[in-house]
Amino acid sequence: MLEKLLANEDLLERLQQMEDFRNLREDAGKLLAKSKQVRVGKKAAKEKGEPEDDETKAARSAKREQVQTLRKKLLKFLQAVPVFMYLTDHREEALVDVIRTLDLTLFERATGLTLKDFDALSDAGVFNSEVMDPAIWQFRLFEHASFDYLGLHEHEDEDQVGGWENVADRAELEAAQD
């Protein structure tokens, strides 16, 4: 994923305009260098039949810390998606379609991402349907429970529920949850 992000110069430039990503290029470069250092150290230790040296262990620890930091920064984009979902009225549509064609302006306001940024991050694997579909369904369940608590039952007439890239039958999703 990092290699894809680093290969997209245009996206890097736009992301670096955002506060959390000012040093993205340097941070990602350090992370890739640490990854290489760990691979080389691990291979050398394996060939010698010895445990990893302290330098390799330190590089592994630094890499783990850098990955966590970058992951937290990228999660901010993912965490903005439920805000967008809550604000949009297009619940029966696939969220990707809503973003691209029905409510792009709202998406840009809620996330700070343009459509071009969104597509580039999707191509790099930040927005992944295998992760996004279950997260969207969980959000919908939480949202519906809160509506029920408030006495609002607007969702009960929905036969279809939009996921990330697909639309699913509500009854099937509810049956799968039980």
**CA distance from start to end of the chain:** 34
98 secondary structure, DSSP code: I
Highest mean pLDDT among 6-10, 22-26, 56-60 belongs to 56-60
Largest CA-CA distance found in the chain, in angstroms, rounded: 68
- Please compute, for residue 61, the number of CA atoms within 13 A of its CA located in the half-sphere on the CB side: 7
What pLDDT, in 10s, does the model give residues 68-122? Answer: 887 787 777 777 887 788 788 887 788 898 889 888 899 888 888 889 888 888 8
Three-state DSSP at 17 gives coil
- Please compute, for residue 80, the number of CA atoms within 13 A of its CA located in the half-sphere on the CB side: 18
pTM over the 0.75 mark = no
Residue 152 has pLDDT above 80, yes or no: no
Report the distance separating Cα 117 and Cα 18, nearest Å.
Answer: 12
Residue 157 has pLDDT above 70, yes or no: no
Residue 64 has a CB neighbour count (10 Å cut-off) of: 13
∠ CA 148-99-125 to the nearest 5 degrees?
A: 105
Side chain identity, residue 94: A
Token pair belonging to 178: 């039980």
Domain residue ranges in the chain: 2-177
